[in-house]
Each structure stands twice: as C-alpha cells, then as structure tokens.
Amino acid sequence: MGTLRDQSKLEEAVEALGRLGFTTLYPVVWNGGYTYYAGTVTQQRQLQTFTLRGLQGQDPLGDLIRLARARGMQALPWFEFGFMAPPSSELATRHPQWLTSKRDGGTTSMSAAGEVVWLNPFRPEVQQLIIDLVLEVVSLYDVDGVQFDDHFSLPSAFGYDAFTRALYQRETGRPVPADPNDAAWVRWRANKLTAFVRRLRSVIRARKPSLIFSLSPNYADFAYKLQLQDWRAWVRAGLVDEVVVQLYRPDLPSFTAELDRAEFAEKTVPMAVALMAGQRLRPTDLGLLGGQLAATRQRGLGVAFFHYAPLWEATSDPMGRLRGLQELLEPSPPLTPPGG
C-alpha cells in the first residue's frame, strides 16, 4: 500500500513492471471491509469514514490506471476480500444480520488475513452491496475489467444462519443437513453462488460489455468442496473471461503435480497460474520461482505473481533481486530499481 500511495514510487514501480514484461496489474480496491478508491458507496452506507488518498493528495487507483495505460498494460481492480470482513469492521458490526454462521453458531474462521467473518452471499442486501461497489469502480475509472478471488465464496462450514436455513427449507422442503459436506447441501449453496455470479456478470456487461471478469480461485476440487465455488461451471457458462489459479506451493514437485489437474488442460478462457512471490520480508527463492515459471510456460499457461512488494521492493537486496527477475522473465532493456 505504501508504493500505491506514493506517487513517485508508483511511477517507478509501474515503469519497472512494464520493462519486466508484465501486461496486467491487479490493484486492490476492496480489503478489510473498506474501499481503496475515491468512491462514496461505503460512506453513504456508513461503513467507512475515510477516502483513501495518496501522500500527495492524489487518487492512487486513478494514477495507477493512467500509468498502466501509458505503458500498454491492463488494469483490473481486485476485490480481494469478496464476502469476507474483519469482525471489528463497520460492515460486520453495523450489519450483524448480514453474517452467516456455522452449525455451532460461530461466525468466524481463520484466514491468511487473520480472524474473519463471512457475509452471507445469499442475502439480497449483501449481493446489492457487491454490485454497487463493482458498478462504482467501473463507472468512475477507465478499467479493463475486475477481479475476484477465492474469497468470493463461502467456506463449506457456513450457511447455518436463520436466513439460509429458512431459504433451504422453503426451496427443498427439507431441513438443512447437519453435515456441512452433504452433497446436496454443497450443491444447493454452490448453485446459489453461481446464480449471483450470473447476475453480477449480467450487470457488468450491461454497463460496459467489453470488461473482463477475472477470477483467481484455488484449484477446482478444493474450490468447490471447501469454498462452494464451482468456477469450472462459471467458465463453461461464459460467466468468467479469465482464470488465474492460485498455486502457492513450497517446492517444485508439489507445484508440478497440481499443474496436471484436468482444469489446466481445458483452456476455454485465458488461464494463468498465480505464483507466490513471497510474504512480507520472506521473498520466495528465485530458483523456485524460476522452476515454477518454466513448468507453467511449458503447459502454455500465463503467469501472475502475488504480490508486488516481495517481487523485489521488500527484500534485503532489491537490485540483486530485480536482476534475477530480469533473467527469469527475459525483458529487453537493462533495469534501474525503483528508488535506485
């Protein structure tokens, strides 16, 4: 976020990414229950009291889109948190009825972002919030599309709130199964999520038909069984234009084994693999990244990196790291590191 908010650092970063050969940027716009752009939807709903501005008073998202466009790159704002929110966020505390729960009544789970609650994706109010956020972004900014990820889902342990129980009973004539992994119960919830994706996609197409609907899920079996995200069905139904599957694996054998899954052979839409560039001050070894990159390219798949900072900026040797990336990605001219 520091780079995004600092105008000079952002300019240097986008310039370097362009020279490395990157073609698409996915700037986060929905994180922690808050929006990271110059909009008003969350303020009007009293979910947010601030508007994110850069250190020089600028609109960071607008700046990034302008810089990306000037270098021939696409910009797809990333709604990272999807239906997820921190328990202490205004979104969760002001609208507890919007949250879904587990069979024991618990409303939280642990994620990479810490303890979170889950908005009920089957509630009309929740769906409308997501639609309004997306329409606001695509209306305010000259974007190439939008991206959702594995948080645009619902962990299979959830769905035992009163609203969903009543809806299931009304539609099926049966009580909600006690087993969250019951096949019919999983399918019903997955179908509900698919129906919302269809609605959201229709709304986006009506506003801007050419926009890309990008999804960055987990591999298909995990996504369906544990997150109720039947993304292969979404692709086959023409609801998704691009898939970037997250394969964050600690070694090359486990990574290449995942690449043999059936979904990677379909390629009915542009498909890429997201590699883990690192976390905080622990960048992924370039040797491992190189092996994963080569294996991905051999299968004719695109490559994305999560996330920007550990690519080179948040490392002990940014210049050396940048040179290593240059060798892996085979860009053309020599690079000057941002800030160097």
> 157 pLDDT exceeds 80?
yes
Tokens of 276: 């883990």
The string of pLDDT tens digits covering residues 309-319 is: 999 988 889 89
The string of pLDDT tens digits covering residues 162-199 is: 999 999 999 999 999 999 999 999 999 999 999 999 99
**Which residue in the block uniquely carries the two structure tokens 């969760």?**
92
Residue 47 confidence (pLDDT): 97
223, 231 in Cβ contact below 8 A?
yes
**Which residue in the block uniquely carries the two structure tokens 């019903």?**
188
Q: In the chain, what percentage of residues exceed pLDDT 70?
A: 97
Rounded Cα distance, 5 and 126, in Å: 29
Give the residue extent of every domain in the chain. 2-246
Residue 334 confidence (pLDDT): 44
Confidence of residue 339 (pLDDT cuts 50, 70, 90): low
Rounded Cα distance, 262 and 221, in Å: 10
Torsion of CA 258, 264, 269, 274, to 10 degrees: 20
Residue 337 confidence (pLDDT): 52
Q: What are phi and psi of 282, to 5 degrees?
A: -120, 75
Does the structural domain 2-246 have CATH classification 1.10.287.610?
A: no
For CA atoms 242, 185, 94, 109, give the dihedral sign.
Answer: negative
246, 304 in Cβ contact below 8 A?
no
Average pLDDT over residues 67-89: 98
Instruction: Kindly report which listed range (95-99, 132-136, 289-293, 308-312) carries the lowest average pLDDT score.
Output: 308-312
Average pLDDT over residues 42-60: 94
Q: ∠ CA(250), CA(255), CA(261), 5° rounding?
A: 145
86, 117 in Cβ contact below 8 A?
yes
Rounded to the nearest integer, the mean pLDDT of the chain is 95
Confidence of residue 330 (pLDDT cuts 50, 70, 90): confident
Kindly tell me the number of DSSP H helices and DSSP E strands found in the chain.
Answer: 14, 14
Residue 338 confidence (pLDDT): 53
Tokens of 103: 């069979």
Extract long-range pairs of 120-125: CB within 8 Å, 24+ residues apart.
120/83, 120/154, 120/161, 120/163, 120/164, 121/83, 121/153, 121/154, 121/192, 121/193, 121/196, 122/159, 122/163, 122/164, 122/167, 122/189, 122/192, 122/196, 123/98, 123/163, 125/95, 125/98
263, 245 in Cβ contact below 8 A?
yes
Confidence of residue 1 (pLDDT cuts 50, 70, 90): confident
Residue 299 confidence (pLDDT): 94
Q: In the chain, what percentage of residues exceed pLDDT 90?
A: 92
Residue 140 confidence (pLDDT): 98
Rounded Cα distance, 340 and 338, in Å: 5
